[in-house]
Structure 1
Amino acid sequence: MARIAFILLCHKDPEAIIRQAERLTAAGDYMSIHFDARAKPSHFQQIRTALKDNPNVVFARKRIRCGWGEWSLVQATLNAVETAVHAFPRATHFYMLSGDCMAIKTAEYAHEFLDSEDCDYVESFDYFDSDWIKTGWKEERLIYRHWFNERTQKRRFYGMFELQKRLGLTREIPQDIQVMIGSQWWCLRRRTIEWILEFTRQRRDVMRFFRTTWIPDETFFQTLVRHLVPEDEIRTRTLTFLLFTDYGMPVVFYNDHYDMLLSQDFLFARKISPEARELKARLGALYASEDVEFKISNEGRSLFKFLSGRGRIGRRFATRFWETESTLGRERELMIIVCKKWHVAKRLLAKIRQVTNIPAIEYLFNEESTPIPDLGGIQSTLGKRTRHRRALMRMLFDYYETDRLIVCMDPNNIDLLHDFCGDRSVTRLLEVQCGFTDDYLIGHAKRVGLAGDQTPRETLERLLPTIRQDITFEIDRIRDADFENHHRIRESDSPYDNADRIARFLTIPEDKALEIAQTDHLFAD
């Protein structure tokens, strides 16, 4: 059975560290603690005194002063790892933790999870080819030497960087290693840890390289694991659930996140708010529990992205020059069906094609798989279609040799609607207003990844008002835009009322419009 040696790096809150050590070791696991040498000596003494009689807790033999972005963080980890390897010969896995982490599964679940597959868990992405680094330095972290801390010695840090840059004092990356990058929160097998420690003793050149690399805690273990372990024995993921905002700051979890955290496919979560006393108490009691069934829905990341992104709806960068200075053509008519229920719009579009023979395309800006003719590559991805939307639409008019074209769009495409309705062509909108039951909204949440089959009912009930409000908000934005030639059909209206609006939207006779409006099961889910 798996036995975990937790490698805990910490620098504050001694009471929380003591409780964390007691909880995790009570289930038979181990812990090796490195308490930052910069921290208060009284705090370290408090921890040592409280845990001195716990045989499953050891302290790194050498404490060092740690600084963000420095090699010191990696050295502190290595010191704690070496101590754990010697102290706990029965440990099968070594799991990196911080003082802000807490278990979101039981020890029973964690041990079975690690026993189920013989592999290492570490984020390990190609340093240069991946987009793991979103902003700031990339190559500069490696090819220049960094001796000073950017946060505490800013002038020296940037002064040495500029001097090396001016003199061309770059260095080579060790030729036989491929630098990788990822989160520092890994879980590695004992064999892998022993290989890494042996590597650090033999390869002084690689150690010298990483000692003056900037932010090496994101590259050192990630690179060595990939260098030493067969690829099929590595899972490029972390077992610690963590989220970051658009500004690179970690998301903090509070009392009302308990159910969501337990449903994620992870063993631990970071960061738990110090004020979330109820959450800490519930999670604290969880690790030693037995026979707990976890329903994994794993919607946490998509749910956070959805909820945090709602405040940015409608914002975009400036239009490209080829969009603002081009037009679809004054003589052309673009007819846009706007509907949140895609299956309803597709059903309506199919009937319109049958009755009018007007060329029509489904959700070309929302679905990658929408059938579109080959237009030289501009249609190949959603990103290209959106960036070159006017050029794409002109090419579609030319391809079908028509001056009339119908497309479908989701109500959240407000920027596209503004763009096309502001064109010199004739643009008409048909808003299809549908009813939304709770069951439909739950299905919608699952389809877009906001929930899973195992998401608790209580979570769904809290989520439903937000989704319903979001849909209403999208529709209200369209109405507030006051577009010209804006028509609307409703599920609650009769086919005769809807036929009148369809006739004006398509500029077709009433009898044909009524045939479209009377489509069998048009609004059915």
Structure 2
Amino acid sequence: MARIAYILLCHKDPDAIIAQAEQLTAAGDCMAIHFDARADAKAYDRMRHALKDNPNVTFAAKRIKCGWGEWSLVQATLNAVQAAVDAFPRATHFYMLSGDCMAIKTAEYAHWFLDENDKDFVESHDFFASNWIKTGMKKDRLIYRHFFNERTQSKLFYTAFEMQKRFGLTRDIPADLQIMIGSQWWCLRRRTVEMILDFLQQRPDVVRFFSTTWIPDETFFQTLVRHLIPKQEIENRTPTFLMFSDYGMPVSFYNDHYDLLLGQDYLFARKISPEAHELKERLGKLYASEGVAFKISDEGRNLFGFLTGRGRVGRRFGQRFWEAGNTLGPEREVYLIVCKKWHVAKRLVDQIVSETDIPCVEYLFNEEETALPDLGGIETTLLKRSRHRRAVVRMLFDSFDTDKLVICVDPSDLEVIQDFCADQAKTHILEIECDYSDDYLIGHARRVGLAGAHNPAEALAHLIPTLRNSMAYESELIRGAGFDGYLRIRESSPRIENEAAVAEFLGISQDQAQAIMRLEYLFAD
């Protein structure tokens, strides 16, 4: 059975570290601690004294003064890893942690998980081909030597960097290494760790190279694991759940995140807020528990993106050049059916096709599987359709040999509606306003990845009002935009009113509109 040696790098709050060590070793696992040499010596002595009788805790033989972005963080990790390898010969896995991490599964579950997945868990993407680095230096991290700390010695850091650039003092990357990049929070098998330590004994040139790269904790282990271990034995992800804001800052978790964290497909979470005392207490008791069943929903990142994105609704990017330069033509008419309940819009479209000669396309810019004629390949992916919206629709007009076309649009796509309303073609808009039951909203949350199949009722109860308000806000934005030719039908309105709106929208007779709207189950879920 798996036995985990936790590699803990920390620099503050010795009491929390003591508690963390006692919690994680209570189930038979072990821990090697590196406490930053810059930290208070008395705090370090208190920590060592409190844990001296715990046979499952050891300390790095040499403490390093650590700095963000420096080799010192990697060296401190290696010192703790070596201490764990020497002290715990029965450890099967080595798991990298910080003082801000806490287990979100039981030891029983973690051992089962690692036994079932005989792989190394480390996020590792190609340094040059991936977009893991969003801004700032990329290649310059590697081809120049970085001797100073960018945060505490910024003037020296950038002066040295600019001097090397001016005089062309670049260096080669070790020829046999493919540089990889990813999160520094990994879990490696014992064989892998021992291979890394042996490799470093044989290759001092690799240590020299990484010791002067910038932020090597994002590249060192990621590169060596890929270099030494077959790809099929690597799970390209971190086993620690962590998220970042739009500004690159780690997201903190608080007391009310307990159920969300337990539902994620990870073993630990980072980072737990220092103020989340209740969350820490509950997670601390969890690790040693037995017989706990976890229902994995794994919606955390989608849910975070949805909730934080509410403040950005309506933001529009500049037009692509092919959108600005493309027009459908003044003689054509586009009929946009805007509805959040896709099945309702599709039923209405089926009725329009059966009662009129106007061709209809369902959710062209939302649904990959939308039935489309062959347009030379531009129709094959949502990405292509969205990049070339007007071009795609113009080709649909030509393919159907018509000057009228009905398209379904999700209310969240205000940009799509604005784009067609800005064209020379005449655009008509029919919004379908549906009623949303709590059950429908829960189902919607699960379909779009905001909730899992096993989320507790309490968590869903908090999500429902947010979803309801979000849908109402999307509708408000459309109505507030003041589009010409805007009409609306409502689930709550009398059929005669909806028939009149459909007749005006499509420019058809009242009899045709009645035939279209006679479907009794149009609004049914």
For 1:49, the equivalent position in structure 2 comes to 49
Amino acid at match of 1:512: Q
Matches of 1:316 and 1:384, distance apart in 2: 18
Q: Does residue 228 of the first structure (1) align with residue 228 of the second (2)?
A: yes
1:106-165 alpha-carbon deviations (Å, 9 max, x no partner) = 111111111112111111111112121111111111111111111111112111211221
Q: Which runs of 5+ in 2 are unaligned?
A: none
For 1:493, the equivalent position in structure 2 comes to 493
Tell me by how many angstroms 1:423 deviates: 2.4
Amino acid at match of 1:500: A
Tell me by how many angstroms 1:406 deviates: 0.8
Matches of 1:261 and 1:487, distance apart in 2: 44
Tell me by how many angstroms 1:403 deviates: 1.2
1:350-372 alpha-carbon deviations (Å, 9 max, x no partner) = 11112112121111111122222
For 1:465, the equivalent position in structure 2 comes to 465
Tell me by how many angstroms 1:382 deviates: 2.3
For 2:300, the equivalent position in structure 1 comes to 300
Matches of 1:76 and 1:356, distance apart in 2: 73
Matches of 2:413 and 2:396, distance apart in 1: 19
Q: Within 5 A, what are the aligned runs for 1:47-126? A: 47-126=47-126
Matches of 1:324 and 1:236, distance apart in 2: 40
Q: Within 5 A, what are the aligned runs for 1:117-516? A: 117-516=117-516
Matches of 2:387 and 2:322, distance apart in 1: 10
Tell me by how many angstroms 1:520 deviates: 4.2
TM-score normalised to structure 2 length: 0.98
Q: Which runs of 5+ in 1 are unaligned?
A: none
Tell me by how many angstroms 1:386 deviates: 2.2
Matches of 1:455 and 1:134, distance apart in 2: 33
Matches of 1:225 and 1:21, distance apart in 2: 27
Matches of 2:411 and 2:524, distance apart in 1: 19
Secondary structure of the structure 1 residue equivalent to 2:363: coil
Matches of 1:324 and 1:130, distance apart in 2: 30
Tell me by how many angstroms 1:200 deviates: 0.7
Contact 1:328 1:390 in 2 (8 A): yes
Matches of 1:163 and 1:381, distance apart in 2: 47
For 1:37, the equivalent position in structure 2 comes to 37
1:485-509 alpha-carbon deviations (Å, 9 max, x no partner) = 1111112233332111111000011
1:426-482 alpha-carbon deviations (Å, 9 max, x no partner) = 111011111111111111111000111111111111111111111111111111112
Amino acid at match of 2:291: D
Amino acid at match of 1:196: I
Between the two proteins, the alignment pairs up a number of residues equal to: 525
1:249-299 alpha-carbon deviations (Å, 9 max, x no partner) = 100000100111111111110000001111111111111111111111111
Matches of 1:77 and 1:441, distance apart in 2: 46
Tell me by how many angstroms 1:315 deviates: 0.4
1:60-86 alpha-carbon deviations (Å, 9 max, x no partner) = 001011111111110000000001100
TM-score normalised to structure 1 length: 0.98
Secondary structure of the structure 2 residue equivalent to 1:362: strand
Matches of 2:482 and 2:444, distance apart in 1: 28
Matches of 1:327 and 1:315, distance apart in 2: 23
Contact 1:496 1:517 in 2 (8 A): no
Secondary structure of the structure 2 residue equivalent to 1:430: strand
Secondary structure of the structure 1 residue equivalent to 2:247: coil
Contact 1:302 1:449 in 2 (8 A): yes
1:352-407 alpha-carbon deviations (Å, 9 max, x no partner) = 11211212111111112222233334333323322322222222222222211110
Matches of 2:351 and 2:29, distance apart in 1: 64
